[in-house]
Amino acid sequence: MNILLLGSGGREHALAWKMTQSHHCDALFIAPGNAGTSEFGTNLPVSVTDFEVIKQACIEHKIGMLVVGPEEPLVKGIYDFFEADPQLQKILVVGPSAKAAQLEGSKAFSKKFMQRQNIPTAAYAEFTAANFEEGKKYIAQHGLPVVLKADGLAAGKGVVIAATHEEALKCFEEMILHKQFGDASSKVVIEEFLQGIEVSVFVLTNGSDYQIIGHAKDYKRIGEGDTGLNTGGMGCVSPVPFMDDVFMRKVEERIITPTVKGLEKEELIYHGFIFFGLMNVNGEPFVIEYNCRMGDPETEVVMPRLQTDLVALFAAMDNGTLADVNISYDERFCATVMAVSGGYPGDYEKNKIIHGLGPNNSKEVIVFHAGTKEDENKVLTNGGRVLAVSAYGNNIADAVIKSKNKLAEISFEGMYFRRDIGYEFKG
């Protein structure tokens, strides 16, 4: 089968690496891809939201499966676009319908869904310009800290944890009155702050059955010791030591099963990944958010540990046999450390030459490209997060050391990475 993968980040490089290990994958095309994905298939200069050009690529390359990496094409309805077109209907699309993708596309939609399905989450209220003054009163009497979330997609930047009422009111005004995130913040969800440890669980579902394919802990802050600005993720570890059988049973019974049953009950078409962003509050799981695709950099640790054939899993999702699949994992730990451009997550420069990459053929360390491009046999930086170096180890500390040793061989102007990924699990 010929497969088209949409996206250009570290997540897509990890998915490409994994899918090409399957004997079901005859040829892989990646749109638009990066310098790393070109090792596994053919990069196509196509935007992930240009559905008409994607259609032509599918016809030209005889595509049998479309795997959607990022959220934007899902929220904009690529699943529905393929379903409605007689020339594309036979292509297996890995991703939810636009309506189901609102679980990520609208914070208010997902909170209401969780309420209807009795899924544990933080208490909340939602506000728009129409009830702006009510929102200000709500904030003024809210306990601290208070969480403000832009309702729509804001490229991972639409969440603020305000330590004071003044800060919260200022953020609320910026989002709604000054349209800080455009239409994404025309509605704002205000939530109670949950004190705990953030973790992620990943599931593949056809909307009635599901399989858990991994879990991970992401490190969002730019600075060591989890300080400084939030980023798209500076590193990740899997498996998470405290996510034992007892905790995972609670996650499955209270969160995953009710979510999938809710999708079925509400007739939300869902054939793809669900990313459960969770908070572990004294051993009790709460949902912070849903994403309708794999996370980044979580994919860069989940895929190396997943031993089950990913393309076969997609086929099982499609043909109704997902419940019968056995999921197996590499027993080792996996860590990824992200090398980023100088200045990220603020302003940064691109087109810096990356030195020291060498062949990507180690059995213990894999360099996944995130923001890179090729130019006349050179690999250049092309984003804020540039490389995710994943490594296996007998424990988290061992895996992190191997990642950092590999990063010591790589350089580009302004390169920075956190040296303390997994720090709380090293004791």
Give the separation between CA 277 and CA 291, rounded to whole angstroms. Answer: 8
- Residue 62 near residue 78, CB atoms below 8 Å: no
Instruction: State pLDDT tens for residues 242-295.
Output: 999 999 999 999 999 999 999 999 999 999 999 999 999 999 999 999 999 999
Q: How far is CA 427 from the centre of its chain?
A: 28
Residue 304, φ and ψ in degrees, nearest 5: -60, -30
| Token pair belonging to 187 | 């509605």
Q: Dihedral sign, CA of 385, 390, 396, 400?
A: negative
DSSP string, 368-414: EESSEEEETTEEEE-SSEEEEEEEEESSHHHHHHHHHHHHTT-B-TT
- Does pLDDT of 159 surpass 90? no
Q: Is the pTM of this model over 0.75?
A: yes
Computed over every residue of the chain, the mean pLDDT equals 96
- Residue 111 near residue 189, CB atoms below 8 Å: yes
Instruction: State pLDDT tens for residues 327-382.
Output: 999 999 999 999 999 999 999 999 999 999 988 888 999 999 999 999 988 999 99
Per-residue pLDDT at 427: 57
